[in-house]
Amino acid sequence: MNKGAKRGVMGLLIVGIVLGIILWGGFNTAMEATNNEQFCISCHEMEENVYQELQDTIHFTNRTGVRATCPDCHVPKEWVHKVIRKIQASNEIYHKLMGTIDTPEKFEEKRLELAQNVWKAMKDTDSRECRNCHNFDSMDFTRQESRSADSHDEAIEKGYTCIDCHKGIAHSLPEGYDPAEDLPGEG
C-alpha cells in the first residue's frame, strides 16, 4: 500500500467515526427528546385526560416525593424494546393527525379499548416496566398490610403479574370494565 492510499483509508476511517458519533448521538438525542413527560403532555389529548388523572395518584403525589413520569411506565428501558415501542408509536401519530381522541368525549368513548391495549401489553411483558422499580425480592411483606402481603404471596405462588390486580392505579378505570369479573389468573 502506498503512502497516498494509506492516508485515504485513515481519512475515511476518521470521517466515518466522526459521522457515526454524530448520527448515533443525534438519533439517541432525538429519541430521548421524545421520551419525557413534557413531550408526552405537549399533546392536549394526554395533558387534559390521563395526565390530570395521574396527579391524584400515588405515582405522582406521595409521602417521599419520588414520582414516576409517563415513559417510566409506558416506554421500556432496554434499548431494543424501547426502539420497538417507538416504532409502534407511529400509529399514535396517525391517530393524532386523524383526531381520533381529540375531545374528552371521544377519549372517554375509546378509553376501554385504549386501557385494554395497555393492560395486554403489560401482561405480555410480565409487567416489565413496573418491575423496573417494584421487585418482589425487595418487598418486605411484614411491612405491608396483611391484605397486601397475603395477595403478594399468592401472586408469587401462582405467577400472577402486577397488572393482573393493579389496574387503574395511575389513571381512571374505563366505563364498561367490571372489576368483579376480573380475578387474576383468569383470561
Residue set of the binding site for heme:
40, 43, 46, 70, 73-74, 92, 130, 133-134, 162, 165-166, 171
Those residues whose C-beta lies under 8 Å from the C-beta of residue 76, and which sit 6 or more positions away, are: 82, 84, 85, 125, 128, 129
Question: Using the rule CB under 8 A, is 174 a contact of another protein?
Answer: yes
Q: What is the smallest separation between the CB atom of 53 and another protein, expressed in angstroms? A: 11
Q: What is the smallest separation between the CB atom of 38 and another protein, expressed in angstroms? A: 27
Crossing angle of helices 79-98/3-33, nearest 10°? 60
Those residues whose C-beta lies under 8 Å from the C-beta of residue 119, and which sit 6 or more positions away, are: 163, 167
Q: What is the smallest separation between the CB atom of 45 and another protein, expressed in angstroms? A: 19
Stretch that binds another protein, among 8-16, 25-33, 115-123, 178-186 (CB under 8 A): 178-186
Question: Using the rule CB under 8 A, is 183 a contact of another protein?
Answer: yes
Stretch that binds another protein, among 6-14, 81-89, 126-134, 177-185 (CB under 8 A): 177-185
One-letter amino acid at 3 equals: K
Distance from C-alpha of 117 to C-alpha of 100, rounded to nearest angstrom = 16
Question: Using the rule CB under 8 A, is 182 a contact of another protein?
Answer: yes
For residues 56 to 75, the per-residue mask of contacts with another protein, x marking binding by CB under 8 A and - elsewhere, is --x-----------------
Q: What is the smallest separation between the CB atom of 185 and another protein, expressed in angstroms? A: 10
One-letter amino acid at 97 equals: L
Question: Using the rule CB under 8 A, is 180 a contact of another protein?
Answer: yes
Report the b/e string of 47-57 with b at 16+ CB within 10 A.
eebbbeebeeb
Cα dihedral value 102, 104, 88, 73, nearest 10: 140
* Site residues (CB under 8 A) for another protein, limited to 133-162: 145-147
Contacts with another protein: how many residues (CB under 8 A)? 18
Q: What angle is formed at CA 183 by the lines to CA 76 and CA 124, rounded to 5 degrees?
A: 25
Chain positions contacting another protein, by CB under 8 A:
58, 145-147, 168-169, 172-183
